[in-house]
Amino acid sequence: MTARGRTSGPAILLCRMAKICHSCGKGPAFGNSRSHSMVATKRRFDPNLQKVRVMDGASPRRVYVCTRCLKAGKVTKAL
């Protein structure tokens, strides 16, 4: 148990995939959304991630890759 009452175990970490690029590690950025009256509310800028099959070692695997890495050819897609 942590200080806030939440448990963090390996079962929780393994069942969800983070929205992070497998190639470059790009993740969500945070900022403010501004209304017409300039009131700031928190918002999240998510990267454009696509789930693709890539060759990870000898076997293919489905991972999230950002479109910038796909366009630059930083990953080898599995056939």
The answer to whether residue 5 is domain-embedded is no
The answer to whether residue 28 is domain-embedded is yes
- Quick count: other Cβ atoms within 10 Å of Cβ 32? 10
The answer to whether residue 11 is domain-embedded is no
The answer to whether residue 67 is domain-embedded is yes
The answer to whether residue 64 is domain-embedded is yes
pLDDT value of residue 22? 94
| Structural domain boundaries enclosing 39 | 19-72
The answer to whether residue 2 is domain-embedded is no
Domain count along the chain: 1
pLDDT value of residue 79? 82
The per-residue DSSP string of 24-37 comes to T----EEEEEE-TT
CATH code of the domain in which 49 resides: 2.30.170.40
Q: Considering just the CA atoms, what is the radius of gyration of the chain in Å? A: 17
What pTM was computed for the model? 0.68
Whether 11 has a pLDDT exceeding 50, the answer reads no
pLDDT value of residue 57? 84
